[in-house]
Structure 1
Amino acid sequence: MLLRQETPADREAIHAVHLAAFAKHSVPVVEAKLVDELREDGDLPGALSIVAERDGEVAGHVCCSPARLGSDEKSAVGLGPLGVLPAHHKSGVGSALVHAVLGAADALGYGAVVLLGDPNYYSRFGFVLAEPLGITPPVAEWAPHFQVRTLRAYTEDLRGDFHYSPAFDRL
């Protein structure tokens, strides 16, 4: 498996990955549109948009986008979506992508990566529930699934209401 930053040539394949990955979970599939809109808004930093290739095919994609945490607009990013083609589920592609994007966010100096997802899956990467760290989800009902992974640049004053990039609000 090869992990690398997305290129313009990957855009259709990334869109297809998210359509296939979320076909059973959300109707209509909003994740593919979300990635496209993040890119169009300029909220998809190249270093934080990573593809996994298997045998020359894009098998998965993950991205992080700028976020606001309290009054801070530079220390946190929102992870998601993470998508893997169904044929590559349970083969380590998703885990490799999460590790890669966390490493990239850490190397870029972010203090926290925040996401909405299954704690049983994301806890293996060091994610914990966000509210005990003073990070409030955009929707109160998300709290049991709203998580944060602190990175080296994290400080305890990185807290408050979390806001994803504007594309998330347009879903």
Structure 2
Amino acid sequence: MAAFPGPEEADLVDALRRDPAFLPDLSVVAVDARGVVIGHALLTRLKIGNGRGLALAPVAVAPEWQRKGIGTLVVRAALDAAEQAGEKLVVVLGDPAYYARFGFGPAARHGVSGPFPVDAAYFQTLPLSGYDGTPKGVCRYPTPFAAV
């Protein structure tokens, strides 16, 4: 997708869609009136300590559709689907100013950490209504993320 500077993220989407961690019912694609994909938000299974959660990534919107609410719509739709599916916790690595609008906050608040060094403000979690304080621990992303 043209929303990213190179092919890595598009390759990641393709690899995730072939991976057992991919959850098609929890991933959202937006299309324009012609049926052309203009945005997406993927949720994949993520291991957290001895439990499991979801990884929100990648999220992308075609450049000509950015700043028109498409990103907000696809992320909210994916998070709503996760809520309806009874999921507990979503992890995202991204801009805190953007993801705060959805309720994400520092992952450390929930005892969750990333598998690699990153500024703590960017590694975030969103507890859903079924969150009971677990899972906690280090996140282990699905194999396709290792290529990014």
Name the TM-score class by shorter chain.
over 0.9
Aligned length: 147
1:102 maps to 2:84? no
Q: In structure 1, what is the Cα distance between the partners aligned to 2:131 and 2:8?
A: 31
Match of 2:125 in 1: 148
What do the CA deviations read for 1:40-71 (whole angstroms, capped 9, x no partner)? 22322111221112213211011010000110
| TM-score, with length taken from structure 2 | 0.93
Amino acid at match of 1:93: I
TM-score (norm 1): 0.81
Instruction: Give the whole-Å Cα distance in 1 for the aligned partners of 2:23 and 2:118.
Output: 29
Residue 21 of structure 1: SS of its match in structure 2? coil
Aligned to 2:66: 89
Q: Using the alignment, how far apart are the partners of 2:68 and 2:134 within structure 1?
A: 38
For the residue of structure 2 that corresponds to 1:79, the secondary structure is strand
In structure 1, the partner of 2:96 is 119
Shift of 1:139: 1.2
Indicate conservation of the 8 Å contact 2:51/2:134, yes or no.
Answer: no
Identity of aligned residues (%): 37
Structure 2: gaps (5+ residues)? none
Structure 1: stretches of 5+ with no match in the other structure: 1-16
Letter in 2 for 1:49: S
CA-atom RMSD in angstroms: 1.2
Q: Which amino acid aligns with 1:30?
A: E
> What residue in structure 2 maps to residue 58 of structure 1?
37
- Contact 2:21-2:46 at 8 Å conserved across structures: no
The equivalent residue for 1:46 is 24
